[in-house]
Amino acid sequence: MPLIGESFPHIEVQTTHGMVRLPGDYKGKWFVLFSHPADFTPVCTTEFVAFQRRYEEFRKLDCELIGLSIDQVFSHIKWIEWIRENLKVEIEFPIIADNTGSVSNMLGLIHPDKGTNTVRAVFIVDPDGVLRAILYYPQELGRNIDEIVRMVEALKVSDEEGVAIPANWPNNELIGDSVIIHPATSVEEAKKRIEEYKHYDWWFCYK
């Protein structure tokens, strides 16, 4: 399975929007690939509605969504029809139909001790096709979609400003919405840090 910092595998997949090449078709954009155990299940339905409700927030971050399970494409199509007709929510992002399980096995989404369906995994991939973050959840636990939005935003800020992001950002208990300056690498730089930035010590500076 791919690891954080590696290039996302080059694969071609069948989706509800036709064939998609990953990561190529998303070059220049962030994307979040997330797996769900099965169509027509309650927790997965709540997640898909939650992802769709926040789709505009992802788009504002120049980030696309793509779902995945081992169901066939006709099942995906019927399920999103059910969501539209019964919950009045239009699922706009594509869903991969990995009915052979080849993509799921490649990405480490099937954990035998948790059954034959995919666990709830999240892969955040940057515009260069590099895997930046991975989350895994068991089938019985629905995800916090706001946290995934926060992760994409935080990674973008980290890249753009060359900083690290504190816990619970932008509502950190110590420094609020500030970001952390990377530690100094010399005695001279350490001295300058406490003159240039807010700080608790030379190794804990922020702006």
Q: Supply the residues annotated as catalytic.
A: 44
What value, to the nearest 5°, has the Cα angle with vertex 21 and ends 75 and 40?
15
Rg (CA), the chain: 20
What distances in angstroms separate CA 179 from CA 63, 76, 78, 117, one per listed residue? 22, 41, 44, 39
Q: Strand pairing partners for 205?
A: 199
Give the three-class secondary structure for 176: strand
Tokens of 186: 């010399």
Distance CA 74, CA 72 (A): 6
Burial of 85 (0-12, 13-18, 19+ CB in 10 A): exposed
Residue whose token pair is 């980030």: 63
